[in-house]
Structure formats: structure tokens, C-alpha cells
Amino acid sequence: MADKDVAKLNREVDRFNLVVPMMRAQMFHFRLDLEAKRILEEALPPLQEGPKTSEVSKITQKVKRERGVLADMIDNLAKFLARRQDQERN
């Protein structure tokens, strides 16, 4: 179906180019294969490689460290507040 439509369009371009004598006003044939390729390249983002295993393990370790630091901070805060409440009671 698309090939027939493109062939018909290109015949119309040929007729138009016969009528129009100026070269700068003439049209080019439509290339469906090139247009499809251009559309796919622009519409779909290029596939990127995911992070490598070593990068993933580094990120995982960093998250664990940061989580550990946060957990330590929360524990220390809880201990501090508990001591402060004990001091206020006494």
C-alpha cells in the first residue's frame, strides 16, 4: 500500500517538474526508506549501555554506606533524646 502511494506521489513530482522550468522550484522524489530511517532515529532515543557490574556494585556499596550513616545518626539522636529525658526526670 505505501509503495503504491509513494510511486503515485513521485509521478506527481515528475509531472510538476516538467511544468516548472526553474530548477530551484522543482521538487525531489520522496524516499520512503530514508524518511522512515530518519523518523525512527529522531523518535526513538538511542539505546545506551547500562552501568557495568562494577559500577552497580560501587553504587550499591555507596547506598549501603549512606544508609548506614543515616541509621547511625537516627540511633545517636534517639540515644541523645533518651538521655535528655532521663536527665529531666532526675
Q: Are residues 56 and 37 in the same domain?
A: no
Q: Are residues 2 and 43 in the same domain?
A: yes
pLDDT (tens digit per residue) in 65-86: 766 666 666 767 777 878 888 8
pLDDT (0 to 100) of residue 66: 67
Q: State how many domains the chain has.
A: 2
> Rounded to 5 degrees, what angle do the CA atoms 3, 4, 5 make?
90
pLDDT (0 to 100) of residue 45: 64
DSSP symbols for 48-63: -PPPPHHHHHHHHHHH
pLDDT (tens digit per residue) in 21-72: 888 888 889 888 888 888 777 776 665 555 566 776 777 677 667 666 666 6
Q: Are residues 57 and 39 in the same domain?
A: no
Q: Are residues 20 and 61 in the same domain?
A: no
Listed as own residue / partner, the contacts of 27-31 with beta carbons closer than 8 Å and 24 or more positions apart are 30/6
Q: Are residues 28 and 39 in the same domain?
A: yes
Q: What range defines the domain where residue 89 resides?
A: 50-90
Q: Are residues 19 and 39 in the same domain?
A: yes
pLDDT (0 to 100) of residue 35: 84
